[in-house]
Amino acid sequence: MPLMPRLSLILLLCLLSGGAGAQSLYKCRVDGTLTYSGSPCAGTPSTAVEVPEAPTPSPGSEKALARQRESADRLTRERVKRETAEARQEQSRARQGEAQRQRCGKLRLQKKWADEAVAASTDANRGRAETKARRAQEALILACPL
C-alpha cells in the first residue's frame, strides 16, 4: 500500500477513535489458542488487559488530512485518465486489426479468383490471366506477410 493512503487511513482512524472510551479487554487461552474478548472467557482463567487511551489529534492533523485527501483525489483522477487513454488505445488497435483482417481476406479472395481465371483461361489469354494472378499474389504477400 502506498505511503500517502496508508497515512491517510491511520490519521482517519485516529480521528474516529477519539469518541471510543476505555473498554475492558480480556485475554484467555481456549484449547491452546490465545483469544481476546470483551468479556471474561467462560470456564478458563482470563487476564484483563489494560487498553491505553486513544491519542488526542494534533491541531494540524485536520489540515494534513485535507492535503492527503486532495493528493489522493488527484492521484485517482490521474489514474482514471490514464486507464481511459489506455482503453481508447486498445479499442483503436482492435479496430485496426479488424480492418487489416478484412483487407487480407479481400486480397485472398482476389487471389483465389485470379487462380480460377488462370485455370479456366484459353491459350490466347492465359498470359494475361497468369500476370493478374501473380500480381494478386504479390499484393497479398505485401499486405499480409503472415
Q: Which residues of 105-136 are buried (b: 16+ CB within 10 A; e: fewer)?
A: eebeebbeebbebbeebeeeeeeebeebbeeb
Q: What is the mean pLDDT of the chain?
A: 85
Give the pLDDT confidence of 74-118 residue by residue, as tens digits.
999 999 999 999 999 999 999 999 999 999 999 999 999 999 999
The mean-pLDDT minimum among 33-37, 85-89, 110-114, 126-130 falls in 33-37
Residue 18 has pLDDT above 70, yes or no: no
Helix ranges (H only) for the chain are 3-16, 61-120, 126-143
pTM: 0.47
Write down the pLDDT at residue 43: 77
